[in-house]
Amino acid sequence: MARLPDSLLDACRCDPAAPFGQDPARNFGLDKQTAQLALAELRPWLNQQQRMLWANRRNAILLILQGTDCSGKDGVIRRVINSFDPQGVRIHGFHKPDACEQRHHFLWRYQRCLPAPGLLGVFNRSYYEGLISDPLDGLCNTRELPARREAIQVFEAQLLAQQITPLKCFLHLSKDEQKTRLQERLQRPHKRWKLHSSDLQSYREFDLRQQRWAEQLSASQNDAAPWYVIPADHRWLRDWLVASLLARELERLQLEWPDSPPPFSLEELQRP
């Protein structure tokens, strides 16, 4: 199996003292061709493991993809999650809460999208937006944030109690690379449709948002549900890292095909 070694994956664990202290363009001495070949080799193994996860229907994995605009959340879904049988995957994207969602507790829309036993869930953006984007969008005030942080801690403890493993990945993109990718979207029609007016504001607020995310990652880092800060300036490395983290979580489950009694025998099948 071609996943990355534990030492390299653990090097991406969030350091609460400096969540964004590492270079988002670092490549660990790896190269694009090696990464692409390894990911292609890893895909069949991921597919089989996810099918066994689905067959056993005991555990679930929740992949959380967080990051600034253009950091590659959609790209990871296209190039990594396509390794899995789509029948066993549930993908949910979260934008600014609509009028209905605003009438509920901020965690409500995430709670109703949790993966059932046996499924791989993917959140494109997460409940941590309630600590970052909601205050900036005027949907809550800063006085509410301590209670929201506590609610998230309780929520994640409940996930683990329900045998849902949260795999939290922050895709760390540099400001220069974000500008380059925004320029690509402006210049290429097949990417331009993804642009929103808010993307320009997000780019202008890059430093402010990074500071706020650093504060929240530091405050929420824990061994039971750690953050991984994924260097995202290189798409090929970002994808291989996320795929390898998923592979490691599947390994930890020590999955096998369920040995359940069949509903009928060969002899019954042969009878006219």
Kindly report, residue by residue over 240-250, the tens digit of the pLDDT: 999 999 999 99
> Any idea what DSSP says for residue 13?
B
State pTM to two decimals. 0.94
Structural class in CATH, domain 6-173+216-255: alpha beta
- Does the pLDDT of residue 58 top 90, yes or no? yes
Q: In this predicted model, what pLDDT tens digit does every residue of 75-122 receive, in sequence order?
A: 999 999 999 999 999 999 999 999 999 999 999 999 999 999 999 999
Do residues 232 and 181 lie in contact, with contact meaning Cβ atoms separated by under 8 Å? no
Average pLDDT value for residue range 7-17: 97
- Sequence ranges of the domains in the chain: 6-173+216-255
Tokens linked to 2: 């071609």
Closest C-alpha among 47, 107, 115, 39 to residue 76 = 39
- Does the pLDDT of residue 185 top 70, yes or no? yes
**What is the spatial distance between Cα 236 and Cα 33, in angstroms, rounded to a whole number?**
9
At residue 168, φ and ψ (nearest 5 deg) are -100, 115
> Any idea what DSSP says for residue 188?
-
Q: What is the 3-state secondary structure (H, E, C) of 200-244?
A: HHHHHCHHHHHHHHHHHHHHHCCCCCCEEEEECCCHHHHHHHHHH
**What is the spatial distance between Cα 92 and Cα 194, in angstroms, rounded to a whole number?**
17
Closest C-alpha among 37, 6, 18 to residue 240 = 37
End-to-end CA distance of the chain: 45
Q: What is the 3-state secondary structure (H, E, C) of 243-262?
A: HHHHHHHHHHCCCCCCCCCC
Q: In this predicted model, what pLDDT tens digit does every residue of 22-48 receive, in sequence order?
A: 999 999 999 999 999 999 999 999 999
Average pLDDT value for residue range 171-194: 90
Distances (CA, A) of 27 to 65, 78, 145, 159, 225: 20, 21, 35, 32, 25
Q: In this predicted model, what pLDDT tens digit does every residue of 205-227 receive, in sequence order?
A: 899 999 999 999 999 999 999 99
